[in-house]
Amino acid sequence: MLTIKTIGQVLKEKRTSLGLDLSEAEQLTQVQKLYIVALETDDYKALPGDFYIKAYLKQYAEKLGLNADRIIQAYDEGKGITVEDKEDILENYHFVKPSERVEPEEEVPKTWRHYVPIISLSAAALLIVVGVFAAVIMNKPETPDLITNDYSYSKSEVSTSKSSTSSTKPSESSTQASSSKPEPTIAISGSSSAMIATISNISDPIKVDFSVAAGRTIWVGMTNSNVPATGQTLSDRANSLSALVTTGAENSVITLGSVQGLTITVNGKALDLSSLTTTGPNKITLQINRTTSNSAAQ
């Protein structure tokens, strides 16, 4: 029997027929688990752009042994896929022995006592949920606006520095200029799709700038920053992004849909992205070693 199914249904049924769970499918296809779930549920909004949707569909379908061209065509046309679905008669019919048959008029009506255990358990579960919710609300700490506080602090610090400079003698000005802080340094390690950038001799605020070349579309996500949890897509319409690392954070993980045509700088110093060679999603971990009071004084 021929039936029409969505692309996600076809992909999921093929994976399950091969006996693969999501983790095994991720290893086989080299497509991240969260993208596999999005493809199998036809949730294309969870993927970073039309280019990546087609690339993941093609890669996933080929690894599962499906016709990738047919899958891409169905996606472009916004239609389902006609497949032969064999009806399992055993699933539609259930044999009941004559001794097990119960006529409707012979069924014993249920009294209110039959529902007492269910009502009791439901009430207990409801009380537990309400108690946990109340405890969370009462003990929830206030979250300070780190970005606003950092900005105010920096602004007041700059004002204090200006007034102090104007009131010092020429000899004191020359002494302060000679004891400037060392330049930040960036050490790169890792390769392929994961890289670690260790940043030393740096102090807050830490600003990370992203810019993408013309004609490129790249999705950017970043933890411990003011970047939205859903990330942001850079393209010709909005080809740059400036992010602030949360004050005091010792690391920040940057997730990228691609690195081709992308430039990243940390407080004006460029990151070397040449070790990231995969075309799929990439991850950069920023390890932050801030300037200590001793190092600043030397």
178 domain residue, yes or no: no
194 domain residue, yes or no: yes
Mean pLDDT across the stretch 5-12? 85
Q: How confident is the model at residue 292 (pLDDT cuts 50, 70, 90)?
A: low
209 domain residue, yes or no: yes
Q: Cα–Cα distances in Å, from 98 out to 6, 89, 102?
A: 42, 21, 9
What's the chain's average pLDDT? 78
Give the end-to-end CA distance of the chain in Å, rounded to a whole number: 80
Q: Return the CATH number at 26.
A: 1.10.260.40
94 domain residue, yes or no: no
pLDDT, tens digit, 9 for 90 and up, residues 138-182 = 887 665 554 444 444 444 444 444 544 444 444 444 445 445 667
User: Is it the case that residue 262 has pLDDT exceeding 80?
Assistant: yes
Q: Of the candidates 20, 54, 84, which is a domain's last residue?
A: 84
Q: How confident is the model at residue 198 (pLDDT cuts 50, 70, 90)?
A: very high
Mean pLDDT across the stretch 96-110? 57
| Domain tally, the chain | 2
72 domain residue, yes or no: yes
User: Is it the case that residue 293 has pLDDT exceeding 50?
Assistant: no
Q: Of the candidates 30, 49, 84, which is a domain's last residue?
A: 84
Domain residues for the domain of 239 are 185-290
- % the chain with pLDDT above 90: 21
Q: Of the candidates 30, 50, 84, which is a domain's last residue?
A: 84
The whole-number pLDDT of residue 43 equals: 87
